[in-house]
Chain A
Amino acid sequence: MDWDRAASHIEELIRRTPADYAEVRLEESEVTAFRFRGPTLESVQENASFGGAIRVLAGRGWGFASFNSLEELEDRLERASALAALASERRTRPVDLAPVPRVRDRFVPEIAEDPRDVPLEEKIRRFSDYNRRMLESSGEIASSQVAYGDRKARLLFVNSEGSCIDQTKLDIQGALVAIATRGSDTQMGSAYFGSSSDYGVTRGLEEEIDEAVRTATALLDAPGVPGGRYTVIAAPPMAGVFAHEAFGHLSEADDLMDNERMREMMKLGRRFGPAHLNIFDTGDTPGSRGFLRYDDEGVAAGRADLIREGVLVGRLHSRQSAATMGEAPTGSARALDYRHAPICRMRNTQIGPGEASTEDLFEGVKRGLYVVSPYGGQTDDEMFTFMAGKAYLVEDGRATQLVRDVTLTGNVFHTLANIDRIGREVGRHESPGGCGKGEQSPLPVGHWSPHIRIQNVTVGGGAG
């Protein structure tokens, strides 16, 4: 496809629409993915995808149409415009868009090693070696799951305000899971990687893999923990998921803008945590899976401070939520791909570093949990849960015993206040998969964090 010609054709087309605002996104992507299950290379695939989306604002109404063929462009623009007109008749609240600078740019991120230049054979060989290493490491490793994926996309964004952005995005991610069985017990340990700039992150994973094997086999002998309330020390990968689930989602302003009570609860200036707590979200972390130059409304994706010194100072905005709440856009309007309209999302959510050393974190903990790696998490904007893939019991200030099946839960509005220690060093953890919101999942995000300690966390458990 000739991108420049497509861009000028689209600019011409939307100049003629009577809509108050219109934007067109085109996306061309290439994906390579493969998966080992046990010793077998289970699937290998190459996907090529082309698609586009149109969003039209007419009066008070939004219309959206997506498509797979450029030939459909004019028809789909008509459909989106008709839907917008229908929507406008129905809505009572106006739709305003915060003003943003007009951007005309072509952006290609700096790529250290491009996976698209690496022959498939070489990629498969590397992961086949890793897979063999796992499977041959211990008699109790019954199987494995190894997944690799890379995706490179070129995106064109054109809007009726004169912005035109041609942006390239790269995403590399995967996981290596060791599966141990004994009798009817099956346990897992995992290693993973992610990047937006460097295939090199797939090199030198031997140590992580060996640790995954040790975890899976050791979990066969690990007991559960009794349910109850614990002091929890979270390692960076886990603390990152915690920041994402326990606070990040609540900062997404499209869920707040038309909800008076939530706006009241999320008033800027409200204290959420202790004075040493800082949380921010930024697209400006090259290399992270949450790296983003421009969001899907053509807004530069810079840093947004969410909590500064324990106090709520900002949130994640689209142009509409920013205008509705009288705040500034943050470049947080993201669409999973051309099939979806942009909504407020995180990029790389981070807890700022504190002053605690590792000893400080464990100091004085009579009975607690050290949660090391995440399995996943979820929130409903008030309660959150997150699951540990690997956790230790902490007794008298020392991590003593590996335990299994640790699920933690808490209330967003109370738990942040219980963070009493924050480590000095930020872990730049990148994990595969991504974030889900509504129908849009998995969106690449990052969550970098230091160690944190949280008092009084509820843990589900039946043992003991």
Chain B
Amino acid sequence: MNRWHDEGERIIDALVARGLQGEVYCLGSEREPVRFEDNELKMMESSTRTGFGLRLFEEGRIGFAAATGGGSADLVEKARAVARFGSAADYELPGPNEYPEVDTFDPRIEKLAAGDMLETGQRLVDDILAFEPDAQVGATVSRSVGTVRILNTRGLDLLHSGTGHGVGCQATVVGEEGLLHTGEFAGGHHMVEDVEGILDSVLWQLEAASRIAEMPDGTYPVLFAPTSLGDVLRPFLACADGDAVSRGISPWRDRMGEDLVDPRFSLIDDGLLPEGASTAPWDDEGTPSQRTPILEEGTLRNYLLDLKSAARLGRCPTGNGFRGGSGAAPSISSSNLVVEAGDTPLEDMVRSMDDGLLVLSLMGAWGANPYGGRVSGNVNLGFRVSRGEILGRVKDCMIYVDVFEGLKDRLVALSRERERRHSTLFPHVLLEGVSISAGG
């Protein structure tokens, strides 16, 4: 019987017949999301995809061509046409290797019925409305099954299937003070078991935000919840990006081995993280997945590298060559991100704050030059903490922090507890001396 990804074999055969080097990435997937909006079921969806991405090496140059559906017939000729002008082939494709065992397939998800997902979403909507009748509640429950096959002319032939399950919900309350947005989600390769936890998180946010607190301009200690830590880490990932390093624009280009931040801070890219949504046996170029400490006890230990940047820097690839689907050429991206836990119980961290801010989410903090380390964003959901107690929700203010300096000199504590969410495992992080400008 012909499988859709047998097409990949035919493409490789065509390359070999022409004496060319190359790689085919075949992606097939099925995804079914159920969406609720404004307290009601909005739509039920189903999508099927097949696509092929071909990276071809010819006369020292690289061409990339991609197609979906039946359009793969002239893929080789298209890639050859492009390769005439392509980038220099200054790296090699990997041959077969040893790969780690990872558990990314949950047969329960394969069999999950649309009706069951509907029930999960409806329950979240109903339970939030029971708690807060004025809320506008949305929810998305989705299941997916995907298969990736990577073949290359060096004999690599990798086939891997994974499942995905995601449950998320948002509740918005329009009040006299304006809008309140709350939300939570969970997802990964396995069935989300703790739907109750998602609900509890949203209810906690709604409860805590029912009071409003003022926050005068000034500098304060700020406790970044795991949900807002991604914005804090963005400059670190930009600087650790092997491509930015090899091009000489990363400020970390010649700082390997230096102590860059507080020794209590360790940041790890972990492609093998159990339950991580980005866990896979290999990356999208066929490099085995691994655990890569970026900052280890404050010291810069590794950059994130794909095949190309690794070759340029004379290092080994770290398994960070990823694609946003079959239509995109691989580029560097993190897999699962882990920040090591500290030793302070979260409760004690909050209690230790005389006057400060707890930030759950920021808006617009992704938008600045990441290499400078300055993170500035509107506090989308945050709470003023006074004498160790949550006073109320803070609105209409911006925070501004140089995270390089902040994590070096002004790290107060990391929480002992960590939260797992999609492809991250993060503690709470308390920095002091963060500047806050309140709105007019």
Q: How many residues of A contact B (CB 8 A)?
A: 89
Among B43, B181, B243, point to the contact of A62 (Cβ < 8 A): B43
* Stretch of B48-56, B98-106, B297-305, B339-347 at the chain-chain interface: B48-56
Expressed in whole angstroms, the minimum distance between the Cβ of A374 and any Cβ of chain B is 9
Q: Is the CB–CB distance between A61 and B41 below 8 Å?
A: yes
Q: Is the CB–CB distance between B248 and A407 below 8 Å?
A: no
* Stretch of A43-51, A195-203, A420-428 at the chain-chain interface: A43-51
Q: Which residue of A lies closest to B50 (CB)?
A: A68
- Which residues of chain B come closer than 8 Å to A34, judged between CB atoms? 85
Within the assembled complex, what's the spacing in Å between the Cα atoms of A410 and B410?
Answer: 29
Q: Is the CB–CB distance between B44 and A181 below 8 Å?
A: no
Within the assembled complex, what's the spacing in Å between the Cα atoms of A121 and B86?
Answer: 10
Q: Is the CB–CB distance between B402 and A383 below 8 Å?
A: no
| Chain B 396-440 interface mask (CB, 8 Å, partner A; 1/0) | 111111100000000000000000000000000000000111111
Within the assembled complex, what's the spacing in Å between the Cα atoms of A177 and B306?
Answer: 23
Within the assembled complex, what's the spacing in Å between the Cα atoms of A10 and B439?
Answer: 55
Once A45-B82, A46-B82, A186-B371 are accepted as A-B contacts, the answer to whether A38 and B247 lie under 8 Å apart by CB is: yes
Expressed in whole angstroms, the minimum distance between the Cβ of B64 and any Cβ of chain A is 4
Q: Is the CB–CB distance between A462 and B402 below 8 Å?
A: yes
Q: Is the CB–CB distance between A461 and B49 below 8 Å?
A: no
Q: Is the CB–CB distance between B81 and A46 below 8 Å?
A: yes
CB neighbors of B among A47-98 (8 A): 47-51, 61-70, 72, 76, 79-80, 83-84, 86-87, 90-93
Say yes or no for B46: interface residue by CB 8 A criterion. Answer: yes
* Stretch of A108-116, A254-262, A325-333, A365-373 at the chain-chain interface: A254-262
- Which residues of chain A come closer than 8 Å to B179, judged between CB atoms? 380-383
Say yes or no for A305: interface residue by CB 8 A criterion. Answer: no
Say yes or no for A405: interface residue by CB 8 A criterion. Answer: yes
Q: Is the CB–CB distance between B114 and A378 below 8 Å?
A: no
Among B38, B88, B374, B437, point to the contact of A228 (Cβ < 8 A): B437
Output the residue of A79, A187, A382, A413 with the most chain B CB within 10 A. Answer: A382
* Top 7 A-B residue pairs of the complex, sorted by shortest distance between their CB atoms: A385-B364, A227-B437, A460-B398, A68-B69, A258-B38, A186-B371, A261-B174
- B residues with a Cβ closer than 8 A to A are 37-51, 62-71, 78-79, 81-88, 114-115, 118, 122, 134, 136, 174, 178-179, 181, 217, 243, 247-251, 327, 329, 363-364, 366-369, 371-372, 374, 376-378, 380, 395-402, 435-440
- A residues with a Cβ closer than 8 A to B are 31, 34, 37-38, 40-51, 61-70, 72, 76, 79-80, 83-84, 86-87, 90-93, 120-121, 124, 142-143, 179, 181, 183-188, 224, 227-229, 257-259, 261-262, 265, 339, 341, 375-387, 404-405, 407, 409-411, 413, 456, 458-462
Q: Can you name 11 A-B pairs with beta carbons within 8 Å? A: A45-B82, A184-B251, A186-B249, A186-B372, A383-B380, A405-B369, A407-B367, A407-B368, A407-B400, A409-B364, A409-B398
